[in-house]
Amino acid sequence: FVMVRPEPTVPVSQPIPVARPTSVLVAMLGDAKSPVAAVYDPANGALRVAAGPGVPDARVAQLWVIGGDGVPHSLGLLSGRPTSLAPKGVDRGRIAPGATLAISVEPLGGSPTGLPTGPVVATGVVARV
């Protein structure tokens, strides 16, 4: 009787996939006295904005993106505290390097026309980091 022993197997290590670093897009809006930072993560669509500028009673700060078409598109309303926004569909693509983010002062509830109606109090250009 002959007993056959299988040769020991050598464990084969699988390569560990390396996550590709994702870059985020940032914009500094306003001036040195009252800067507002905005950070956009294209991977998950999250747009985080530091506390918006102070606005008068019965008014609200509204964030806009102005891309290659030159038309302001609303991204949402800001509060006096840090705000997280989730731009939808085509607006996500508009937040790109070279686009401008702007904050206007609008009536409560936001612009009634879909375009800025009040003064623009801060702007900044989007850059990749």
> Each residue of 37-53: pLDDT tens digit?
999 999 999 999 998 78
Residue 16 pLDDT > 80, yes or no?
Answer: no
CB-based contact 57:29 (threshold 8 Å): no
Domains of the chain with CATH codes: 25-128 (2.60.40)
Residue 90 pLDDT > 70, yes or no?
Answer: yes
Rg (CA), the chain: 24
Residue 124 pLDDT > 90, yes or no?
Answer: yes
Q: Check residue 21 and give its pLDDT.
A: 60
Q: Check residue 4 and give its pLDDT.
A: 66
Q: Check residue 42 and give its pLDDT.
A: 94
Q: Which two tokens stand for residue 74?
A: 């609303």
CA 90, 92, 95, 101 torsion-angle sign: positive
Q: Check residue 40 and give its pLDDT.
A: 97
Higher-confidence residue: 9 or 100?
100
> Each residue of 53-71: pLDDT tens digit?
888 889 999 999 999 889 9
Residue 127 pLDDT > 90, yes or no?
Answer: yes
Q: Give the amino acid at 39.
A: V
- Mean pLDDT value across residues 73-84: 93
